[in-house]
Chain A
């Protein structure tokens, strides 16, 4: 069965520090991978998606970047965090023939 792992679950980082959130998928190959952010009281905002290794598409300009070094690994990064980067970050995957997306448990990031 397919599973998705996202870590850490919570993170408190100072302004200006770097960020690295990791997401890995098991039990499937060549998935579409997504990074979302849910700010307080708001819906899901798509940040990045990837349809293959090394292929990253950004949906909104921001202080963040994403990378896909392996087929089932998706990393969200920042060189210098801003206060506005605080939020709940979600990784998700979809199979090529699937319609449903499956989400990780999320990372609560607080920038202080």
Chain B
């Protein structure tokens, strides 16, 4: 596709459930980023991949959060035992390489934990 695609666009779940959010980056972009954005705040860095490996996961808030990118393209953000505080918009972005250039963002996945 022409842009970064994220699914689902909306996800409502109950506290304690497991959630997966998917990101399909722009074709040919080797760097992929996950950010989280709460209402009225700027995006907060979670993790970034260069190819298949997580090059920096310093933004993951705790071990309930995990992300993979097994073939160097599509990525999945996984959240275990969801909590109400996990409610936010999860943004995915990609860029040609990790050194320079702008990030291209998807529309985000809005997660609501009841």
Asked if A and B are interacting partners, one says no
B-contacting residues of A (Cβ < 8 Å)?
Answer: none
Could you list which residues of chain B lie within 8 angstroms of chain A, going by C-beta atoms?
A: none
